[in-house]
Amino acid sequence: MKIGLVRHGSTSWNKEKRAQGGSDIPLDDEGTEQAVRLSTRLKKESWDALYSSPLKRAVQTAEVAARELSIGIQLDDRLQEVGGGQIEGTTEAQRIEKWGENWRDLDLGREPLEDVLKRCRSFIEDLVEKHPGQHVLVISHGGIISQILQMLDSAHVKEETMKNTSVSEVVFRDNEWSCEPFNCTRHLDI
């Protein structure tokens, strides 16, 4: 089984370095172009199913890919970005101004990590059960993709920000998951 994990294309909030979380922000023009380049890459590969977060930026990215791959999109709430609570829509400078340098230590209504891990684990378990031996594409968000990758192959996954429309693939063989490539955006260099 292979799972391709793809972060959505860029948004205006990405460029402004605003925390998006569960806010439903659409792709900007660059994000749409990134999705087109991504779909050109993906159509050269074989994918059996396509799942997406229901948030607009992920769905818009998935729609471009789905057209090229001629497959339907299955929306799954468990793929929504980590809830940011009160920090959504703010920049780092605004957070520091409002809550101080140690804002990360405050309970600002952000989704607890244990809840994020629970929904990621549940999604992967369902995927494995429904699609044994298949190649499944998943379009989601940086925070969720990072958690899934850490869960499946922590030995080979670096802790870095996931790039817009980056592709990370995990393959199950010999009773373990292995990630290769990781956070790859070679399709944007064309």
Show the domain range for 182. 2-189
- What CATH number should be reported for the domain holding residue 67? 3.40.50.1240
Q: Over range 111-121, report the average pLDDT.
A: 96
Instruction: Give yes or no for residue 182 having a pLDDT over 90.
Output: yes
Query: What's the confidence (pLDDT) of residue 106?
Result: 94
pTM for this predicted structure = 0.95
Per the structure, the count of domains in the chain is 1
> What's the rounded mean pLDDT across residues 17-37?
96
Between CA 124 and CA 142 the distance in angstroms is: 16
Active site residue 33: no
Looking at residue 153, its pLDDT comes to: 93
C-alpha count within 13 angstroms, C-beta hemisphere, residue 106: 14
Q: How far apart are CA 32 and CA 26, in angstroms?
A: 10
Instruction: Supply the pLDDT for residue 158.
Output: 81
Element (H, E) at 172: strand 167-173
Model confidence pLDDT, tens digit, residues 31-75: 999 999 999 999 999 999 999 999 999 999 999 999 999 999 999
User: Of residues 45, 63, 81, 180, which has the active-site annotation?
Assistant: 81
Q: Which of the pair, 190 or 68, is modelled with greater confidence? A: 68
How confident is the model over 157-165, as a mean pLDDT? Answer: 89
Q: pLDDT at position 155, please?
A: 85
Diameter over CA atoms, the chain: 50
**84: phi then psi, degrees, rounded to nearest 5:** -95, -5
Does the structure show a pLDDT above 80 at 190? no
pLDDT at 161 over 80: yes
> Is 81 one of the annotated active-site residues of the chain?
yes
